[in-house]
Amino acid sequence: MAFENILVQNKGRIQYIIINRESKLNALNKFTLCELHEALTDAFKSSGVGGIIITGSGTKAFVAGADISEFADLDIKGGTDMARTGQSTVFDIIANGNKPVIAAINGFALGGGLELAMACHIRIAADSAKMGLPEVTLGLIPGYGGTQRLTQLVGRGKALELIMTADMLTAAEALSAGLVNHVVFQDNLLPKAEEIMNKILTRAPLALASAIKTVNDFGTECINGFETEIREFGKCFGTEDFKEGVSAFLEKRKAEFKGK
């Protein structure tokens, strides 16, 4: 299957899925998400694939976020649909997949990029990688599961600090916060991901599927924070601050928010 914005490569029982829009820092536009959905669905079904490594093309970015140029015309319904569709067709499919998925974070993992990495079961970062959820700089909040998964990984206080300041963490800071499992030199990123995946692939596949499912059920309460996130993300699209944030990014200037 040939894709335009992703590359799918098999190496033994490992399938690489590489986001391949280097000129846009591998930003996730709608089309890329559709391709990811297709590739992931195939990979989880394929008996020849034992596990998946997701990475980005080049050395600058894993994924620099959702494609901001597609935000400008969205209203509350459009924003809500975007979050719901993205979560159900890509991010939840990865998190709830029956095979291990490792994110090899080769550069910027921002917004939807960090959310993509956080949906994976294990994260390995190059020492040059930078990670953050800068959505509030655009008048938005994370919409692809970021508020929930970051909180699960680093705890409520650190998650709120990162989301509200929009600060980026270095790879070393992400390691000490528990956001990534390992940090390695860029040249060693894929070898390290393969080493871990190859070890996992010597284990019992059905037990791996059960382990993923069971660990994912940890801490699930009656309140579905993902639903709250979808609603609140959608609501942001009805604000003037959102229009200002996105226009400022596209016009390459500093946003001036008015709290409306």
Give me the active site residues, please.
115, 135
How many chain residues interact with ligand COA (CB under 6 A)?
15
Structure tokens belonging to residue 228:
């709250």
User: For ligand COA, which residue of 44, 108, 233, 237 counts as binding (CB under 6 A)?
Assistant: 108
- Total length of the chain: 260
What number of other Cβ atoms are within 10 A of residue 170's Cβ? Answer: 15
Q: How far is the CB of 63 from ligand COA (least distance, A)?
A: 8
| Strand pairing category for 6-11 and 14-19 | antiparallel
Choice between 54 and 197, CB closer to ligand COA: 54
Pick out residues in 42-101 that bind ligand COA (CB under 6 A).
64-69
Least separation in angstroms between CB 40 and ligand COA: 21
What pairs with residue 170 in β-bridges? Answer: 130
**Please, what is the minimum distance in Å from the beta carbon of residue 28 to ligand COA?**
8
Q: Are the C-beta atoms of 30 and 41 separated by less than 8 Å?
A: no
Residue 16 pairs in a beta bridge with 9, 53
Please say whether the beta carbons of 236 and 111 come within 8 A.
no
Minimum distance from residue 201 beta carbon to ligand COA (Å): 33
Q: Per CB under 6 A, does 35 bind ligand COA?
A: no
Q: Is 112 in the site for ligand COA (CB under 6 A)?
A: yes
Amino acid identity for residue 154 in this structure: V
Residues that bind ligand COA (CB under 6 A): 24-25, 27, 64-69, 108, 110-112, 134-135
